[in-house]
Amino acid sequence: MICTLCPRDCHALRTETRGGGVCGMPSSAVVAKAMLHRWEEPCLTGTNGAGAVFFAGCSLGCAYCQNRAISRPDRQSWGAVDVAGLRAIFRDLVTRGAACLDLVTPTHFTPAVAEALYGAEWPVPVVWNSGGYEKVDTLRALDGLVQVYLPDLKYALPGPAGAYSGAADYFQWAAPAIEEMFRQTGPYRMENGRLASGVLIRHLVLPGELENTRRVIDWVSRTFRPGDVLFSLMRQYTPQPGATGKLSRRVTGGEYRAAVAYMRNCGVTDGYTQDAASAVSGYTPDF
């Protein structure tokens, strides 16, 4: 493929075995880890955990990435799996009691993932867990295959988006992408305490970047009515090795309380907040 799947539009040559472009991955899916994961939002984990499939590679390259061990192509040692192998991984997780199929950072493997999902009756929701840096045209290939979209909305301001993720254009892609996700699923729907369908938007509060958080919340409150989407305001930022400047510290209690108060004042009340205990490295899987 000559790849144009994500907003990077790098036009890299990616074959089944040869990686390329910003993500550095081949066209066949590369699975770094598949596991029952208990640290997603409660509506996704159920009793046994979400059936998380962590894909290697990423098109964003965030400076604070907690999954750095699998997101950088020069660190990879996993082999690609074909569509049949990917479908077998999904079925194994369902057999083990997964509450959902939680596909983590799958955007650069969209054709392979869509093919693996197509034509099967999955007894649990399929969750598209992405960084939010998506193309609407790519997402349209998933219409009817994904029940729950779990996008990050990392930035509304170009300054931190460019500084931390090398994507000053992040919001101009993420906003219409999330609107497309909502078009596909409609308002969120719960069944027995679990999210059966809909959009759950995540936002990670970054140290010293409260204005960015406020602008994210502003967009969510303007774009969606109460009952349309869920919103998860995350406090789990953990400084990564080599972090400097603002990123060298955790989010303070005052910063997070201010973010929660602003969210509630804007009428964004459906969703989740986190306590200070979430900001530890133990929640990151051992890759």
Domain edges within the chain: 29-283
Cα dihedral across residues 182, 35, 113, 134: positive or negative: positive
pLDDT tens track for 10-44? 999 999 988 888 999 999 999 999 999 999 999 99
pLDDT at 98 over 80: yes
C-alpha closest to that of 207 among 162, 265, 151, 164: 164
pLDDT at position 5: 97
Contact 66, 51 (CB under 8 A): no
Contact 62, 12 (CB under 8 A): no
First to last CA, the chain: 28
pLDDT tens track for 218-265? 999 999 999 999 999 999 999 988 899 999 999 999 999 999 999 999
Arithmetic mean of pLDDT, 114-131: 96
Which is higher by pLDDT, 21 or 171? Answer: 171
CATH homologous superfamily of 29-283 equals Aldolase class I (3.20.20.70)
**What are the phi and psi torsion angles at 268 (to 5°)?**
-90, 95
Number of other residues whose CB lies within 10 A of the CB of residue 287: 14
pLDDT tens track for 36-93? 999 999 999 999 999 999 999 999 989 999 888 888 765 555 678 999 999 999 999 9
Q: How confident is the model at residue 185 (pLDDT cuts 50, 70, 90)?
A: very high
